[in-house]
Structure 1
């Protein structure tokens, strides 16, 4: 198992799910990915479920928190590493985004802040203290990619370039233009345009990809557990992928990476 010990600034480092039903979400993702969990109690955030790989004592791979308001949409929040929370929030605001929270210390683990880009897609910032983020990435049942669906790709490139210093490279997949955001010439995130195939009311958003060993089998298992399959298993240069919403409506993707 390849463990992650640090994340350069601008690299996705953690995923957090906000759910209206914590126990139902634990059952779905435990059944899909085999995750175990433990509870991290925090005075500011309340009880936070840390999902683990390889048993309750295994490395943390992502988190789960109950929605504070049942009118909110269930969703995954993609979190990016920063070295200075105050400076990162200032860059977000200078680039036209919003600071939805101030930086909040999460015990001795790190400082967390929630922000949004100019189109309203929210994401989180993480300034690590004791915890750099997920203990494992890129392995089966862990985060391997994050993707922004937006309507103004040029604006998104300007914004994330200013905030994280990303450079960009474009390519095409099945006739759809795709953009990679890079840190030090390493692709770390994708950007895709929400075209006429998307419902006009659907908001721009970040979505995680999880690696699996068999995309078709995992898609079938997700459907059995109550997921709604939005895009069935499909081949692409990066691998075979599928898009879905979990039983509470949070969007996610799975992919069997190409060798």
Structure 2
């Protein structure tokens, strides 16, 4: 992930009402360690696995926008301000305008045409993930507890694909063979594919928003799910076998949703 393409997922961070509880939760679940930045960076949390950065986190403040605890996926951009302008011109909204984060990069948060939140990251001295669970040369890298897949569930499937192609330059996508009730397009057409977009018009519950989710690798998904519950989290979709490995959807101790996956495309 040191040389990502434009539009690749390069970072995730957690927006949490209780940073201490979140640090303890993910430390117990994945063996992550946490380092807090100084006041100039708002006490931003960097989570690491085996000494390599895997995710970030930010605690809510009295001035923070209202909203649930959640994970945000960031896509790479060579010019965050130009990407934000393009998003606004193609039916998106700017939630957090582009802002410099010291010399480490430029960030912003958008809403896509279906209202799913998505971050922008323009790298400075910090490129993003230092390790992922994504297949590289047919082998796993640092699988357990590392980001493994990034997925958008949307009711406006065709519109979403057009938006991400126009705004983030997704020009190498691959549509999976369609089946009744299943339409899916991957971000890349060759491995590592990184993530994809699912037509969730028939699966999202009424009133549930469209959104991105991050999968974290789990060598034993069932054991990880049991640990989530033990630590005060909840099961949203029980562990189940899929053509792409065993997977589950859960929420952490403060309600932020994520998924666990034993395999990826």
TM-superposed deviation, 1:42: 5.2
Change (3 A) 1:91 1:18: same
Go from structure 1 to structure 2 and tell me whether the alpha carbon gap of 1:80 and 1:70 turns closer, same or farther (over 3 Å shift): closer
1:5 aligns with 2:2: yes
SS of residue matched to 2:97 = coil
Label 1:155 to 1:131 Cα distance change in 2 as closer, same or farther (>3 A).
Answer: same
- Using a 3 Å threshold, how does the CA distance of structure 1 residues 140 and 93 change in structure 2: closer, same or farther? same
Counterpart secondary structure, 1:101: strand
Distance 1:240 1:184 in 2: 22
Q: Distance in 2 between matches of 1:176 and 1:227?
A: 30
**Which of residues 53, 58, 81 is equivalent to 1:65?**
58
Confirm whether residue 49 of structure 1 aligns to residue 45 of structure 2.
yes
Question: Displacement, 1:59?
Answer: 1.5
Instruction: Tell me, yes or no, if the aligned pair for 1:11 and 1:183 is still in contact at 8 Å.
Output: no
Deviations 1:22-57 (A, max 9, x none): 1111111111100001112253x5110100112xxx
Of 4-13 and 26-35, more deviation after overlay is shown by 4-13
Contact 1:20 1:70 in 2 (8 A): no
- The equivalent position to 1:84 in structure 2, one of 79, 91, 94, is 79
SS at match of 1:217: helix
Contact between 1:178 and 1:190, CA under 8 Å: does it hold in 2? Answer: no
CA distance, structure 2, for counterparts of residue 110 and residue 153 of structure 1: 30
Q: TM-score, normalised by structure 1?
A: 0.90
* SS of match in other structure, 1:140: coil
Aligned 8 A contact 2:148 2:264 in 1: no
Of residues 231, 244, 255 in structure 2, which corresponds to 1:249? 255
Query: What displacement does 1:178 show?
Result: 3.9
Q: Distance in 2 between matches of 1:258 and 1:10?
A: 19
Q: Does 1:177 align with 2:179?
A: no
Asked if the contact 1:97/1:115 (under 8 Å) is kept, the reply is yes
1:16 aligns to what? 13
1:165 maps to 169
Change (3 A) 1:258 1:92: closer
Query: Retained in 2: the 8 A contact 1:149–1:192?
Result: yes
Shift in Å, 1:176:
4.6
Deviation string, structure 1 residues 52-96 (Cα, Å, up to 9, x no partner): 112xxx121101101234842110000011111122112211211
CA 1:172–1:40: 2 relative to 1, 3 Å: farther
Deviations 1:92-122 (A, max 9, x none): 1121101122221111211111111011111
The TM-score, its normalising length taken from structure 2, stands at: 0.88
Superposed displacement of residue 188, structure 1:
2.6
- Cα distance, 1:129 vs structure 2: 0.9
Task: Return 5+ residue gaps in structure 2 as ranges.
Answer: 134-142
**How has the CA–CA distance of structure 1 residues 201 and 90 changed in structure 2, closer, same or farther, with 3 Å as cutoff?**
same
